[in-house]
Each structure stands twice: as C-alpha cells, then as structure tokens.
Amino acid sequence: MKKLLFTLMISSSSLCFAMQTVNFKTQTFTCNGKAITKNTAESTLLTNCKGAKVRNASVVVGAPPPKNAGGGGNAVALPRDSEDDDDGDDANMERVKFYADNGAYMKCYYKNGALFKCKTKSVKKSTTSSGN
C-alpha cells in the first residue's frame, strides 16, 4: 500500500513540472521587449533573453541505429559508400534554453536554422497582500 501511494505521489508531482508546447497564435512571449514568434532567429534569443544557452547536435536522418560488436566491444558505425553529407540527410538540431520577460522557462528547438517548436513551463503567479 505504501509503494502504491508513493508511486501515485511521484507521478502526480512529475506532472506539475511538465512543459507545454507553445502555440504562437494564442500565446505571447517576449525577451527584452521583443516578441518571440515562429520567425524569431536563434541569435535574437541569445542576445535578448535572460540566461540563454544553446546546445548544438548534428543528426543523421534515416541512419540505422548503432550496433554493438560481438565480444563486448562497441562497434563504430562507418558510413556506406553511398552515404555522404551532400545528399541532405543530415539535420542540424539546436536547442536554446532561456527565460522570457514574464519569468517563464522556455526551450526552443531549431532545425537547420528554422524555429521548429518551443516549450515552456508555466509561471506560477504569487499572491501577495500588502498590509497597511
């Protein structure tokens, strides 16, 4: 019974920290007063947003998953003769993490230099009462 309660408590708390995909048609976010849209360049986020960091990754689209060699060693996947970088199968994926002006933590994903999608954590508004 304790394990079940613990599992339910952990799963419900992890849902509180889930990120939501941004809908640019209905939601508005800004960095240093500049609106973040579907056309926002990565450099704009890096220069205007608080705590902006970028992570680059090169992904080979359609490549087979790497396989382990027998005997416990790791095999190095070598490209076949017909595979090269000129065929357009490589994708340059970048992720930019930052804080928007309203304090929302955001991650925006770029694929080959174009904004692919953004995700955000909602900002909890604190209610403060001032005593007179």
Q: Is residue 97 part of a domain?
A: yes
Q: Is residue 2 part of a domain?
A: no
Question: Quick one: pLDDT at residue 83?
Answer: 47
Task: Locate 61 and state its tokens.
Answer: 């689209």
Q: Is residue 12 part of a domain?
A: no
Give the whole-angstrom CA distance, residue 108 versus residue 116: 8
CB 122, CB 104: distance < 8 Å: yes
Q: Is residue 82 part of a domain?
A: no
DSSP 84-98: -GGGS-EEEEEEEEE
The mean per-residue pLDDT over the stretch 35-60 comes to 88
Q: Could you tell me the pLDDT band of residue 84, with boundaries at 50, 70 and 90?
A: very low
pLDDT tens-digit map of 100-132: 999 999 999 998 889 999 999 876 655 555 555
Q: Is residue 115 part of a domain?
A: yes
Question: Quick one: pLDDT at residue 104?
Answer: 92
pLDDT tens-digit map of 63-78: 555 555 555 554 445 4
Q: Which residues pair with 95 in a beta bridge?
A: 55, 109
Question: Quick one: pLDDT at residue 88?
Answer: 55
Domain that holds residue 116: 20-61+92-121
Question: Quick one: pLDDT at residue 65?
Answer: 56
Q: Is residue 36 part of a domain?
A: yes
Q: Is residue 14 part of a domain?
A: no
Number of domains comprising the chain: 1
Q: Is residue 66 part of a domain?
A: no
